[in-house]
Amino acid sequence: MNAALVAVYAFRETLRRRVFLAVLVLTTAFVALYWLGARFVFSKTSGFSGNPVVDENVVRGASVFGLALFATYFLGCVLAIFLTLGAIRGEAERGLLQPLVARPVGRSSLIGGRLLAAVLVCVPYVVVVYAIVLAITRHTLHWAPDRQLEPMLALMLAVTIIAALSLLGSVFLAPIANGITVFMLLGIGMVAGLLGQIGVVMKIHSLERIAEASSWIAPFEALYQRSLFALTAETSGVTKTVLSLGPFGGPQAGPSQLWLWSLGYLALVTAAVLAAFARLDL
């Protein structure tokens, strides 16, 4: 009950900051750009491979949609980080937190409410943007991913984990330091994921192992890789090989227990936030 109350106020705070307005404007710009790009790709790339064995429609669709997936993931993470980076230490420094913590409300409710508010913004955002770019891709490029639900679910869980990590950082770090830390974590995850992709394409097992290890440490990146993988999970042959050479080619499915581990990871991070906040002197 109290967590819901805190979530409602945090949500209203987000509205007040005009985050929604800025996000709406920039997302509209991104979607418009994507639609334009998809149209150009469709109209200008007929017969580009010169190979009748390659399914050009799949290559076009998967490549362009891979870009959209990356943008959706990145924008969702940006939103998750900015909504939570100053949730604890930042708000305590501004004097906003003390009047709330002194009330007979559990600290777990305060944290739960903040996480809930961030998730209620980020997850629907990812769902809406994913649905729009999928609709554009289907309509403009006449192509749809092999698995349509899995990429969306993976991105939803990935941004939720990022929000929880940023909340954890907000217990220990000032807002700017926390933002930098979480963005760098995101960047390291991306680099590890790209190394894994290169490892798959070039058959370098040590790179693949690095990517595998990073998927345990940073499951948000593994989930993003899984979402890319799901786009062409059922595709095979020369088309698959051509795809793997592209900018979003060679994604890994990740460990078989990725979903379970990601949920467990989220629970662990949330437990760490609760434990850290419970011990924090304000």
Partner 1 sequence: MPPALTTRALVKRYGRTTALAGVDLEIAPGELVGLLGPNGAGKSTLTKIVCGIVRSSGGEAKVCGARAGSRSARAAIGYLAELFRFPDWLSAEEVLVLHQRLASSRGGADERRDLLGLVGLTDARRVRVSAMSKGMQQRLGVAQALVGRPRLLLLDEPTSALDPAGRRTVRELLERLREREIAVLLNSHLLSEVELVCDRVAILSHGRLVAAGAMNELTRSRGLEVETSAGVRLIEDVGRAQVPQLVRELVAAGEDVFSVRLVRSTLEEAFLELTGSDAA
The verdict on 2 binding partner 1 (CB under 8 A) reads: yes
Spatial distance between the Cα atoms of 50 and 148, rounded to a whole number of angstroms: 29
Among 16, 203, 206, 256, binds partner 1 (CB under 8 A): 16
The most distant pair of C-alpha atoms in the chain lies apart, rounded to whole Å, by 70
Cβ closest to partner 1, residue 47 vs residue 104: 104
Cβ closest to partner 1, residue 120 vs residue 233: 120
Tokens 């990429």, located at residue? 151
Cβ closest to partner 1, residue 15 vs residue 180: 15
Among 47, 50, 53, 281, binds partner 1 (CB under 8 A): 281
Cα 250-237-259 angle, rounded to 5 deg: 45
Cβ closest to partner 1, residue 101 vs residue 198: 101
Query: Which residues lie closer than 8 Å to 212 by C-beta, 6 or more apart?
Result: 196, 252, 254, 255
Contact 71, 139 (CB under 8 A): no
Cβ closest to partner 1, residue 13 vs residue 146: 13
Cβ closest to partner 1, residue 100 vs residue 253: 100
Q: What is the dihedral of CA 182, 184, 190, 192, to 10 degrees?
A: -110
Instruction: Restricting to residues 107-166, name those near partner 1 by CB under 8 A.
Output: none
Cβ closest to partner 1, residue 55 vs residue 91: 91
The verdict on 235 binding partner 1 (CB under 8 A) reads: no
Best CA proximity match to 151, nearest among 80, 224, 216, 222: 224
- Least Å from the CB of residue 114 to partner 1: 14
Question: How many chain residues are in contact with partner 1, going by CB under 8 A?
Answer: 21
Select the span of 20-28, 61-69, 178-186, 274-282 touching partner 1 (CB under 8 A).
274-282
210 Rama class: left (phi>0) / alpha (psi -120 to 50) / beta? alpha
Contact 145, 231 (CB under 8 A): yes
Instruction: Restricting to residues 89-108, name those near partner 1 by CB under 8 A.
Output: 94-96, 98-106
Contact 146, 57 (CB under 8 A): no
- Least Å from the CB of residue 203 to partner 1: 53
Spatial distance between the Cα atoms of 113 and 105, rounded to a whole number of angstroms: 11
Select the span of 2-10, 150-158, 221-229, 231-239 touching partner 1 (CB under 8 A).
2-10
Residues lying near partner 1 in the complex (CB under 8 A): 2, 5, 9, 12-13, 16, 94-96, 98-106, 279, 281-282
